[in-house]
Amino acid sequence: MKSPADATRAVLPPAVRGAAAAVAPTAPVDAAQVAEVRHALAELKKLYGPAGALEWEAAKALIAQREQATQELVDRLAQLGPGGARAIASGYAEADSTRAKLLLVHALGKLNDAEAAGVLQTLLDGADSLSVRKEMVLALRQRPEAAAEEALAGVLANEDDAQLRFASAQGLSGRASALPVLAERIRRDTSPEVRKELIRSIGLVGTAAAADALAEVAQSRTDVAVRQTAIQELGRSFGASALGVLERLLADPDETMRHTAVKAVARVNTDRALALLQRSATTDSSPVVRESAAAALSAHQSRADASAPGQRR
């Protein structure tokens, strides 16, 4: 697998490209912060020491206590502030268990330090445990820095494991600067589930360019479920502004696509949308599509009647 640091640079906007290098942790590590990290790791190790045989209720209480204490350690490390990412990276190199590594990764996701995303990307490049790498991707989702976007784009483009690509697609959701990467991966990713998540992520971008990207997928000859997701997202995220492409989809040769388009149009409450539903209800060759359009019209009418003046609610 290629390093995420090298991935998708050609389609990343200039403001994002190379961001990880711009925040590379080159300054000295603060000794006091390193000591705080080591102290937290020692507390974690003590917290999860042998507990002996326990009754069920006692075991549940211990699990809850450990989870709360672990979260408190994460929150404490997240307060290290600037320079803390370097200290946590130093502690990660010394961590002797997956649990310890996860503690530090979770803290990097919350840390108020602009270098945290760059550190996470470096750690992600070297990690070999799927569980740890997945948590690193989830931590990157919490980071606002451009370096986090670059790292997530790299995972999306080059990671073999679909779970990690799925998580990275979620992490890029709604980020307008990531739209080129998201749109490109819809065309290339081999997992239908990842592609459907990419569609939802593009919908959250909410721009005209995002709508165009979804329209392309909706009208393509790709996986049926992926096309359906794109059509549904057009109706959900873009409403009346998507009626042009939805009208074309109402004439699609595939009955399933027409049926899905009817449901998307039904989300829109405009005269044009109602006219499109009326046309499908009376002229579509499929009884399934006609019935769905008629039901949508009936639902619109019921809502209109319920909101009319003088109606009892």
DSSP for 297-313, please give it.
HHHHHHHHHHHSTT---
For residue 54, tell me if it sits in a domain: no
| Biggest alpha carbon–alpha carbon distance for the chain | 76
Q: What percent of the chain clears pLDDT 90, i.e. is strictly above it?
A: 81
What's 204's DSSP letter?
Answer: T
Contact 193, 162 (CB under 8 A): yes
Q: What angle do CA 293, 232, 193 make, to 5 degrees?
A: 140
For residue 113, tell me if it sits in a domain: no
For residue 151, tell me if it sits in a domain: no
Alpha helices of 127-242 — where are they, by DSSP H? 130-141, 146-158, 162-171, 179-188, 192-203, 208-218, 224-233
pTM over 0.75: yes
φ and ψ at residue 58, rounded to 5 degrees: -65, -40
Question: What is the pLDDT at residue 127?
Answer: 75
CATH code, domain with 302: 1.25.10.10
For residue 274 the two structure tokens come to: 């109602």
Based on the structure, what is the number of domains in the chain? 1
Start-to-end Cα distance in the chain? 60
For residue 21, tell me if it sits in a domain: no
Question: What is the pLDDT at residue 207?
Answer: 97
For residue 284, tell me if it sits in a domain: yes
Q: Using DSSP, state whether 10 is helix, strand or coil.
A: coil
Separation between Cα atoms, residue 21 and residue 41, nearest integer Å: 28
Measured over the CA atoms of residue 74, residue 79, residue 82 and residue 86, the dihedral's sign is negative
Of 123-127, 160-164, 194-198, least confident by mean pLDDT is: 123-127
Question: What is the pLDDT at residue 28?
Answer: 85
Residue 12 predicted with pLDDT over 60:
no
26 pLDDT band, cuts 50/70/90, is: low
51 pLDDT band, cuts 50/70/90, is: confident
For residue 262, tell me if it sits in a domain: yes
Question: What is the pLDDT at residue 242?
Answer: 98
pLDDT in tens, 175-226: 999 999 999 999 899 999 999 999 999 999 999 999 999 999 999 988 899 9
Structural domain of 279:
206-307
For residue 227, tell me if it sits in a domain: yes
Helix 98-110, helix 84-94: angle, nearest 10:
170
For residue 110, tell me if it sits in a domain: no
**Amino acid letter, 180:** P
Question: What is the pLDDT at residue 304?
Answer: 82
Q: How many CA atoms lie within 13 A of 241 on its CB side?
A: 14
Residue 301 predicted with pLDDT over 60:
yes
